[in-house]
Amino acid sequence: MNHLATERPLSAPAFDVAGIRAQFPILERQVHGRPLIYFDNAATSQTPLAVIDTFRDYFCRYNANIHRGLHTLADEATAAYEATRETVRNFLNAADRREIVFTRGTTEAINLVANSWGRANLKAGDEVLVSLLEHHSNIVPWQLLAAQLGIKVRVIPVDERGVLDLDAYRALFTERTRLVAVNHVSNAFGTINPVREMATIAHEHGALILVDGAQAVPHQRVDVRAIEADFYAFSGHKVYGPTGAGALYARAELLEAMPPWQGGGEMIKSVSFDVPTTFADIPHKFEAGTPAIAEVIALGVALDWVRGVGLERIGAWEATLLERATMAVSRIDGLRILGTAPDKAGVLSFVVDGAHSQDIALLIDQLGVAIRTGNHCAQPLLAHFGVTATCRASFAAYNTLEEVDAFVDALERVIGMVR
Ligand code: PLP
């Protein structure tokens, strides 16, 4: 039994969590005969009816390829797809919708920057700074370039709380530093990084900054101009939208100067065997082939949904969930939380003495609780902390304080079984 339940009332900032839950049909399901408690939101969040209905509407009414049709369905699909570009622009407060490139998600967005901007601007000996907190998506594309171009990947260290060491960050800059690639929020530990300050420091040294916003956009308002991001990437499926659609923000002048990455339909102006092929204007220069049309349209609906609930309110609610969960699990004998930054998003990563993380996740699933275990695609970070896996509970707008208490009870039961 966790003790918090009796000490603290089940109250929190006024937030209509019941009204929100009612919009997520999946939350009604049972898992192994118990109500689902879904705490794997950092991997993928669930989708509200508004997003689900978008697919039905699209495929029932206006499924067509975009940009190239002269018929009504193609026009409607194109308009809805391009309207999402404006939604994303507005969501990130970008200056111009041409600065929004649709991608499959964060991974593809970062690979686009590495392969287009990186290959055009980096040469042997140039340096890219990445942090120890990065997801493999923001490490491996730079390592591939290191192997192919001879650039150096240098690592910004963290302290014992999982907070980036800004003095060490400053000290890493040399005249060869060209780019800083850092996440806004760590998926493994939940640390919120001071990307605004990091951008200023990068720019003072003449370097650009790419911010991986996969774990930030679901929890806080992001203003790419205020944080002075040169590149900003995120995925739809972590912000109540579908898989297969995400976006890259890049300042227009950078995109203008970057060569295309993938070639194909849609990204050209003219193609010839006799004179050089010419390319479409931005952002279409970077959107080769038929995109995930329905998914992109649904992504726009998801972002509208999030804005409708209010990111500040979602962030405050998740902070309440995190605080309750953190206090309760801290009392469990032998449980160690990894990632204790003062500024954290709703991610609780932990290991338990004498209990394998995988066993905990498998057994707690039998009690209806979905958490993630493993290296969270952050092997260097976990290795630094001397572990190969953690259990991770991560929260979203539809989670409740009662679910937190039920999770803690289930965790205590499971630990008792495996020890
Ligand atoms: N970056 C971070 C911080 C993430 O949490 C994730 C996914 O977990 C990614 C990048 C990769 O996102 P995707 O798999 O949607 O491309």
Measured from the Cβ of residue 358, the count of other Cβ atoms closer than 10 Å reads 12
- What confidence tens digit (pLDDT) does each residue in 326-337 have? 999 999 999 999
76 sits in which H/E element = helix 72-92
Flag whether pLDDT at 1 surpasses 80. Answer: no
The answer to whether residue 221 scores a pLDDT higher than 80 is yes
Which atom of ligand 1 lies closest to the CA of 105? 16
CA distances from 214 to 43, 240, 416 (A): 10, 12, 35
Beta strand 246-250 with 127-131: parallel, antiparallel or unpaired?
unpaired
pLDDT score of 3 more than 60: no
Out of 40, 108, 137, mutate this one to test ligand 1's pocket (max ligand atoms within 8 Å of CB): namely 137
Q: Which pLDDT value is given to residue 118?
A: 98
Q: How many CA atoms lie within 13 A of 365 on its CB side?
A: 13
Confidence of residue 13 (pLDDT cuts 50, 70, 90): low
Counting atoms of ligand 1 from 1, which one is nearest the CA of 243? 15
Q: Which residues contact 329 (CB under 8 A, 6 or more apart)?
A: 335, 337, 348, 350, 408, 411
* Residues 263 and 271 sit within 8 Å (Cβ to Cβ): no
107 CA to centre of ligand 1 in angstroms: 6
Percent of the chain with pLDDT over 70: 97
Mean model confidence pLDDT for the chain:
96
- Å from CA of 251 to ligand 1 middle: 22
Q: Residue 214 C-alpha to ligand 1 middle, in angstroms?
A: 6
Contacts of 28 (CB under 8 A, 6+ apart): none
Nearest CA to ligand 1 atom 5: 187
In order of 129, 192, 298, 411, the CA distances from 85 in angstroms are 30, 26, 12, 42
Q: For residue 95, how far is its CA from the centre of ligand 1 (angstroms)?
A: 25
pLDDT at 4 over 60: no
Average pLDDT score over residue span 255-261: 98
Distance 305 CA to ligand 1 centre (A): 21
pTM score above 0.85: yes
Q: Which residues line ligand 1 (CB under 6 A)?
A: 105-107, 135, 137, 183, 187, 212, 214-215, 235
Q: Ligand 1 mean position to 375 CA, how many Å?
A: 13
- Rounded average pLDDT over 38-67: 98
Residue 137 CA: nearest ligand 1 atom is 10
pLDDT band at 68 (very low <50, low <70, confident <90, very high): confident
Mutation test residue for ligand 1: of 133, 187, 219, 248, the one with most atoms within 8 Å of CB: 187
Query: How large a percentage of the chain has pLDDT more than 90?
Result: 95
For residue 14, the model assigns a pLDDT of 81
What CATH number should be reported for the domain whose range is 17-40+310-418? 3.90.1150.10
**Distance between CA 95 and CA 249 in Å, rounded?**
10
Of 102, 215, 232, 347, best ligand 1 pocket probe by most atoms within 8 Å of the beta carbon: 215
Residue 172 Cα to ligand 1 midpoint, Å, equals 25
* Vertex 163: Cα angle to 160 and 166 (nearest 5): 115
303: amino acid identity, one letter: L
Residue 69: its pLDDT value, please? 77
Domain ranges of the chain: 17-40+310-418, 52-308
pLDDT at residue 419, rounded to an integer: 86
How do strand 278-279 and strand 268-270 relate by DSSP bridges? antiparallel
Q: Which residue has a Cα nearest atom 6 of ligand 1?
A: 214
Nearest CA owner, ligand 1 atom 12: 106
Please state, in angstroms and rounded to a whole number, the distance separating the CA atoms of residues 308 and 50: 12
Residue nearest to atom 7 of ligand 1 (CA): 43
Task: Write out pLDDT tens, residues 118-141.
Answer: 999 999 999 999 999 999 999 999
Could you list the active site residues? 377
pLDDT of residue 102: 98
**211 alpha carbon, distance to own chain's centre:** 10
* Confidence at residue 125, expressed as pLDDT on a 0 to 100 scale: 98
pLDDT digits (tens, 9 = 90+) for 173-219: 999 999 999 999 999 999 999 999 999 999 999 999 999 999 999 99
Q: For residue range 266-291, list pLDDT tens digits in order.
A: 999 999 999 999 999 999 999 999 99
Q: Which CATH architecture has domain 52-308?
A: 3-Layer(aba) Sandwich (3.40)
Query: Alpha carbon of 4 to those of 13, 238, 346: distances in Å?
Result: 17, 29, 18
What is the average per-residue pLDDT within 371-395? 97
Q: Is-contact 166 197, C-beta < 8 A? A: yes
- Return the best residue to mutate from 131, 184, 377 for the ligand 1 pocket (most ligand atoms within 8 A of CB): 377
Rounded to 10 degrees, the C-alpha dihedral 295/297/301/302 comes to: 30
